Amino acid sequence: MRHLSSPLAFSLSLPLAIAMLVTASADEPVSLMDTVVKWRYPDAEIANSRMSDAATIAADAARTVPSVVLSTTMSTSDSVEKVLKYYRELLTRNPENDKKLGVDPKVGRSVVFSDESDGRDFAFHTIMVNTANSSTTLIVTRAQNEERTRITWKQYLKNEIGS
């Protein structure tokens, strides 16, 4: 397991050892903190991280595929604009970024940036990243009177069993 170079305050609802039990494929276990760290804004404080069953179900309420949801909240004193610039650069396809995020360079994905701030007293941006087996959402917010930008990150992973 990788050790982080800077101390972080983690509030985990599941122990890290249990988080390692969920698998996305037959060969790679999904680790909550290893996944969060890939998406972590530089030097952001991390809190309220958790991993849970995504309970993927069909219209008849029957389970379809095993799946998991990972989530965390990060905060930084950096501006919303600086945070958005970082994620625009991170999500630009190139070998270095694909490796950092653990993305297979052959896998297609869509990335959507959306600004819902117009007419509001706070910045509200969403970033959506979708592949065939995952959906990642980042919500970047900051009120005019706040000193920190909040980044809420959630990732849905559909587990590939027997691949």
Structure tokens at 158: 């559909």
* CATH code of the domain covering residue 52: 3.30.980
Domain-located, residue 1: no
Domain-located, residue 26: no
The pLDDT, as a whole number, for residue 157 is 84
Domain-located, residue 136: yes
* 163 residues of the chain, pLDDT tens digit each: 333 433 343 333 333 323 333 334 445 666 778 888 899 999 999 988 887 777 777 788 777 777 788 899 999 999 999 999 999 999 999 999 999 988 888 889 999 999 999 999 999 999 999 988 889 999 999 999 999 999 999 998 887 655 4
How far apart are alpha carbons 9 and 52 in whole angstroms? 20
Half-sphere exposure of 111 (CA within 13 A, CB side): 11
End-to-end CA distance of the chain: 24
Predicted TM-score (pTM) of the model is 0.75
Q: Identity (one letter) of the amino acid at 16? A: L
Structural domain of 38: 32-158
At CA 152, angle to CA 151 and CA 154, rounded to 5? 140
Total number of domains in the chain: 1
Domain-located, residue 42: yes
Domain-located, residue 14: no
> Which burial class, exposed, middle or buried, applies to 46 when counting CB atoms under 10 A from its CB (0-12, 13-18, 19+)?
buried
Structure tokens at 128: 């959506």
Domain-located, residue 12: no
Domain-located, residue 15: no
Q: Identity (one letter) of the amino acid at 40? A: R
